[in-house]
Homo-oligomer: A and B are copies of this chain.
Amino acid sequence: MRRSPNTPLVEEPSQLELRDGRRARGRRSRTAVLERSVQMASRDGLEGLTIGALAADIGVHKSSVHALFGSKEELQLATLAAARAILIDQVIVPALSSDEGIRRLEAVGDAWFDYLASDVFSGGCFLCAASTEMDGRPGPLRDAVASVMREWIAVLGANIEAAIAADELRADVDPAAMAFRLNALGMAANWQRQLLNDLTGIEYARSAWRAELQGLRARRPGRRRSRRALRPQEGDGTS
């Protein structure tokens, strides 16, 4: 496919455009590239992402893609940022309508597992893949991945703390430990779905996520349950 020099890579402006200092045409082209690069990177990894294959996929010259981002590392960082935006849109934003604390943790879990079961990324959870891919080598890309994951863990931890403060969770719950366990469920669910083509892991994780929230309820539980003193549920996660 040959195009006359300097027609834009996309015609229609996307709704995902970020307001940076650059011009509108390039912004749209960058967004269009990133929409493909997140998919490719979710399958082949951030390192397996190549400018040539990406350009061929879009139908554009290699140097055009390169020029838009300046270097491969910048492309990788932009791809990571785009994936983060998608994750926030898919998992965090839907949960913001629920009250902070237990309810939002439930909502985040629901949204996360829906997202893991969906095909938002053709190669599975982008950040799960990027985490294990980048964890061995130093550099700004690894730091960026770690930063995003810290954000995610912090969201879980903050809501656990809020739940404790609101007496929705027992006071002796360690927020960091509980956030670790909740996060572990999603990562393993993504692993089982992607590698073994098995969706039951997501259901196991859903059950275990609920059990974790139910099992550690404080003596005075939230609105939903009886006001009488309640023994903590044991919850083995098998529905």
Contacts and interface: CB of A to CB of B under 8 A. Distances in A.
A146 B195 contact: yes
A179 to B, nearest CB: 9
Q: How many of these chains are in the complex? A: 2
Contact of A131 (B183, B195, B201): B195
B135 A194 contact: yes
Interface string A131-148: 111111100001001100
A178 B236 contact: yes
Contact of A237 (B43, B47, B181, B194): B181
Interface range, A side: 35 or more
A172 interface: yes
B238 A173 contact: yes
6 contacts: A43-B137, A129-B132, A131-B195, A150-B196, A177-B208, A215-B234
